[in-house]
Amino acid sequence: METQHQFQILVANESHLDFAQIIVDEMESSAKARGTGIAKRSPDYIKQKMREGKAVIAFNQDGIWAGFCYIETWSHGEYVANSGLIVSPVFRKGGVAKMIKKKIFELSRKLYPEAKIFGLTTGLAVMKINSELGYEPVTYSELTQDEAFWAGCKSCVNYEILMSKERKNCMCTAMLYDPKDHYEPEETKQFFEEKKGMLERLLRIKQWKLLQPFLKKDHKDDHNPKMITVSRKRSLLHYFFNL
Ligand SMILES: CC(C)(COP(=O)(O)OP(=O)(O)OC[C@H]1O[C@@H](n2cnc3c(N)ncnc32)[C@H](O)[C@@H]1OP(=O)(O)O)[C@@H](O)C(=O)NCCC(=O)NCCS
């Protein structure tokens, strides 16, 4: 058990099953509020993760539920995803997500020491937390190609975008920690700190671009200096986000 400030961060178990519904409801309403997609999960699925000891749950000092995250394995355990991170709105911006992600990362390393750990996110907060743990941004081709994982995206509002891009790209940014080949957390953290302004802009451009699949490119503008700048940005976008 980890206690920081007034929060308890625990590996979930049978005693937490009653919180499954509130967790699922909060995941759904938060996704709606943000206008982003989400791979929907049922309360039974969340309960199964709790029973298996593959989830982390947070409470405040009065035992009020504060947050949650769970582990999924893919490609016969070659990959592990830390998914479904959610913090109760009343406890946000207090470091709860950071504590949960640290705990679930440690649990993943303990249960699956050989596995590559990855996550998909649309948000800068999670990119920041992941960077502090040693994750780096990768293209989708470096993630598990397990059909069952990608099938989980079917319930997301952005699934059509994912398929139109042949599963090479979507609204989410992919980040990965490879235990056999990784940067030190200090390096990935520094990279994020130095580049976060650019990453935030790239995220916005990427999401705007993915929403405009029929945008026509006018080749006449190729000699226009402004368009050359756009072309350079495209190559950077391609490197990070496969655009
Ligand atoms: C994203 C979410 C999990 C963050 O939870 P949180 O407990 O507020 O996050 P933390 O307080 O641990 O913040 C971690 C860092 O991200 C930053 N951060 C938090 N929310 C942020 C936001 N909306 N935009 C930018 N940065 C943010 C914090 O300032 C903090 O940085 P710091 O270490 O420099 O202070 C929470 O807002 C949430 O549940 N959102 C809805 C569900 C969701 O988006 N889940 C992620 C799916 S991948």
Q: Token pair of 108, please?
A: 């993943």
Rounded CA-CA distance 238/225 in Å is: 20
pLDDT digits (tens, 9 = 90+) for 6-51: 899 999 999 999 999 999 999 999 888 876 666 778 999 999 999 9
For the chain, give every domain's residue range.
Answer: 2-241
Question: Looking at the DSSP assignment, which residues form a beta bridge with residue 58?
Answer: 9, 67
- 70-84, 157-171, 186-200, 225-239, range with greatest mean pLDDT: 70-84
Q: What is the pLDDT of residue 240?
A: 54
pLDDT digits (tens, 9 = 90+) for 128-177: 999 999 999 999 999 999 999 999 888 888 888 899 999 999 989 999 99
Nearest CA to 135 among 162, 156, 158, 108? 108
Atom of ligand 1 nearest to the CA of 94: 11
Residue 36 near ligand 1, beta carbon < 6 Å: no
Q: What is the pLDDT of residue 232?
A: 42
Instruction: Kindly give the pairing relationship between strand 79-87 and strand 116-121.
Output: parallel
Minimum CA distance residue for ligand 1 atom 26: 125
Rounded CA-CA distance 44/60 in Å is: 24
User: The domain 2-241 belongs to what CATH superfamily?
Assistant: Gcn5-related N-acetyltransferase (GNAT) (3.40.630.30)
Total-model pTM: 0.84
Rounded CA-CA distance 195/145 in Å is: 29
Could you tell me if residue 35 is left (phi over 0), alpha (psi between -120 and 50 degrees) or otherwise beta?
left
Q: How far is the CA of 84 from the centre of ligand 1 (A)?
A: 13
